Amino acid sequence: MIGVSDIDKSIGLYQDILGYETIEYDEIGEFEDLKHLPAGSGKYRRVLLSHKTPRKGPFARLLGPTKIELIQSLERTDCCKIFENRYWGDWGFIHLCFDIQGMDDLQKECEAKGYPFTVDSSETFDMGEAGGRFSYIEDKDGALIEYVETHKVPIMKKIGWYINLKKKKPGQYLPNFILHAMGMNKVKD
């Protein structure tokens, strides 16, 4: 669920760039499930978006299908940028993150549609045991959307087994046995 100041102005990003083209519902009213939240009473518009086709990419089967609900208060006009006076990493929801392939093409598409990258590591950003290219855009209200193009990820750290995804053909899934092997890296208490 993402709060926006104007669904009609925001929905294009989520449909056209992020691929949530299907509107499952578009409702206006007072909603029981919001009433227990601060400022949850009142009139809202809610639009639930989903994608028709399964996501493609190395981790798509692991992450599965997703939906995004946009919500707009129809009574409040005192909204500010969602991250005003907050720091990246504050407790709570900080941004959406998408596993992608083809960052250069995505960058061109985002720029052409008015959403230039605000941060871009450009090359592989080494995080020790993993690495990739990381970039961000902002929606119309300043909500951060991160794109991660994974380049290197550990499969079995104990034996030094890593996979280089830079050479992986776009749109291909990682095999199930590799996803399973990655699960063996969990820290156990």
* CATH architecture, range 2-76+95-183: Roll (3.10)
Average pLDDT score, the chain: 82
Lowest mean pLDDT among 60-64, 155-159, 161-165, 181-185: 181-185
- pLDDT tens across 148-159, in order? 888 877 777 777
44: number of Cβ within 10 Å:
19
Given pLDDT bands bounded at 50, 70 and 90, which one contains residue 108? Answer: very high
Cβ neighbors of 69 (< 8 A, separation 6 or more) are: 1, 2, 46, 47, 48, 49
Tokens describing residue 139: 């929606």
pTM: 0.79
The residue extents of the domains of the chain are 2-76+95-183
